[in-house]
Amino acid sequence: MAVRRETCAERQAFQDRIAGVHAEDRHRLMKEHRDFVNGTRVEDANFTSARPQSTSIPDPRRPPMGKDAAYSLQLQTTCKKYYRAVFLGLVDMAVVNAYIVYREARTKRRANSITHAEFLTQLQAQILELTEEDFAQADAENVLARTLPAEHAPRENPDYQIVNGHRKRR
């Protein structure tokens, strides 16, 4: 008898049928099917005498394989790169804002301002000097209450103001 060519659909159908068979019968059925495909057997595997598999079968979902796994890993890498870029952008904005506030405070104190590069070098040195104790939670008793300066007084801020003779919302 000639060797029989098995299509992908036939192979998948056989694998689906054999998945529901008891493990002890699986070996016999696979041998019968292999003999049928090789041409040494006239009939395909006989599933009528096979015992069904126990009802506690594992989850039939398989992990992604082949191109699906590759696409999944590619998407995961893309997302990591995206969120890393977003995070580093936020850190960069925070550092630039800190430099702007630092420069304004130095200007108000009439002290000489340093360049952005010098500020970054100084900031990095301060960060490297931090220890575990610096990150410990401070007790509420040791923290001084923040008070407003004496010259601070609340003032009214109306929703509408008159600008150039027109009432406008501000």
Per-residue pLDDT at 57 exceeds 60 = no
Q: What percent of the chain has pLDDT over 70?
A: 86
Mean pLDDT of the chain: 82
Task: List, for residues 6-33, the tens digit of each pLDDT value.
Answer: 888 888 888 888 887 887 788 888 888 8
Backbone phi, psi, residue 17, to 5°: -70, -40
Residues in the chain: 170
Q: Are 160 and 170 in contact (CB under 8 A)?
A: yes
Per-residue pLDDT at 104 exceeds 80 = yes
Q: Are 62 and 29 in contact (CB under 8 A)?
A: no
Task: List, for residues 82-96, the tens digit of each pLDDT value.
Answer: 999 999 999 999 999
Per-residue pLDDT at 156 exceeds 80 = no
Task: Provide the H-helix boundaries in 39-150.
Answer: 67-108, 116-128
Backbone phi, psi, residue 57, to 5°: -85, 150
Show contacts of 14-23: CB within 8 Å, 24+ apart.
14/45, 17/47, 19/53, 19/60, 20/52, 20/53, 20/57, 21/47, 21/50, 21/51, 21/52, 21/53, 22/50, 22/51, 22/52, 22/53, 22/54, 23/53
For 47-58, what is the mean pLDDT? 65
Spatial distance between the Cα atoms of 90 and 125, rounded to a whole number of angstroms: 21
pLDDT for the residue 102: 94
Which helix (H) or strand (E) element contains residue 133? none
pLDDT for the residue 27: 82
The more confident residue out of 143 and 48 is: 48
Q: What percent of the chain has pLDDT over 90?
A: 26
**SS3 state at 59:** coil
pLDDT for the residue 53: 62
Task: List, for residues 108-145, the tens digit of each pLDDT value.
Answer: 998 998 999 999 999 999 999 998 888 876 665 555 56
